Amino acid sequence: MPMRITLHQLQLFDAAARMPSFKAAAEALNLSPPALSIQLKILEESLGVSLFEQIGKKKYLTSPGLELQQVCHRIFDELNHLDMRFTQLRGGMAGKLSIAIVTSAKYFMPHLFGAFQRVYPNVEFNMIVANRTRILERLENNADDLVIMAHVPDAFDIKAIDFLDNPLIVIASPDHPLVKVKNIAFEQLLQQPFLIRESGSGTRMAVEQYFSSHNAAMKVAMELGSSEAIKQGVLARLGISILSRHCVWLELKTGFLKQLDVQGFPDVRSWYVVYRKGKQLSPVADAFIKFIVANGQIMLDEVEQLYR
């Protein structure tokens, strides 16, 4: 006997699977917990399997539940692609785009989203900002349409497209003695106390690679969990640091921080838009990639011009 399940039932199940509790899922769906429970019970009876199990106060997906969740994602993705494709055929571009970005990219990606949305006003963005570890988890689980990162992993079968230069620069407080020194030798930095990002950060990895390539070691004064914390630490004269220029361009414009003139810097790397190989990109995702590859640097240069 064929299964008789509806799209609405799958939507209810998917919400219940994603939320931390059935109560939270019911609230998000504007249902009462008993009403949601009844709908899920009907779905389980239709499928002939249990989709959830309760251990203590926590709910977990069973093996069939995990399998159904994957099927739901494929179905919803296909329906979303179909909706965007039909919109495109009608002469427009609309839909939702989910993009996960590492924390250092939050300083410039909103400007690119805004520029794209001015061209395609019917596109909605869902931006997830997280540290590198969490972003890699989302990439592995194919949780987003696209991922923005600077240090591309080797572990995944992915497609990575560079779209923007990522210059790493040495920064210091305005009254640091090296600020007025020209053509600073790299060796002079080795005695300076450094503020660095936490282990696992893409910026931390890039900086460590640079020092390793010069057979040198940093004099680490403090490890901090965000670029914002590092900027405040540098401003407080706790040490110098190396960050992406995109993280500090506004502070450089206002004079709150200074870029040191160090030999070998800027160390120019790249920002990448990343997705899993074999992933069927939506028309919106494909258009966004082409847009930032063609216009990313131009858009950011225009933003900086506003502050001159």
Overall average pLDDT of the 10-34 stretch = 87
| Residue 275: closest CA among 107, 98, 144, 87 | 144
User: Cα separation of 120 and 93, whole Å?
Assistant: 6
pLDDT over 90 at 260, yes or no:
yes
Asked if pLDDT for residue 297 goes beyond 60, the answer is yes
Chain mean pLDDT for the chain: 87
pLDDT at 161: 94
Is the confidence at residue 81, as pLDDT, over 90?
no
pLDDT tens sequence across 110-131: 989 988 988 888 888 899 999 8
Q: pLDDT tens, 176-221?
A: 999 999 999 988 989 899 999 888 788 888 888 899 888 988 899 9
Percent of the chain whose pLDDT exceeds 90: 36
Beta-bridge mates of residue 158: 276
- How many residues are there in the chain? 308
Domains in the chain, CATH or no CATH each: 1-92 (1.10.10.10), 93-164+270-305 (3.40.190.10), 166-268 (3.40.190.10)
Token pair for 132: 């590198």
Average pLDDT over residues 222-247: 92
Cis peptide before 266 (omega within 30 of 0): yes
Least confident residue range of 83-87, 138-142, 196-200: 83-87
Closest among 184, 269, 172, 183 to 221, alpha carbons compared: 172
CA distance 288 to 116: 7
Pairing assessment for the beta strands 146-149 and 219-224 based on DSSP bridges: unpaired
Average pLDDT over residues 264-291: 90
Q: What is the pLDDT of residues 142-181, one digit of tens each?
A: 889 999 999 888 877 899 999 999 999 999 999 999 999 9
Tokens of 70: 């994957």
- In the predicted model, is pLDDT for residue 4 greater than 60? yes
Tell me what pLDDT residue 174 has.
95
Model pTM?
0.68
pLDDT at residue 105 is higher than 80:
yes
202 vs 208: CA distance, rounded Å = 10
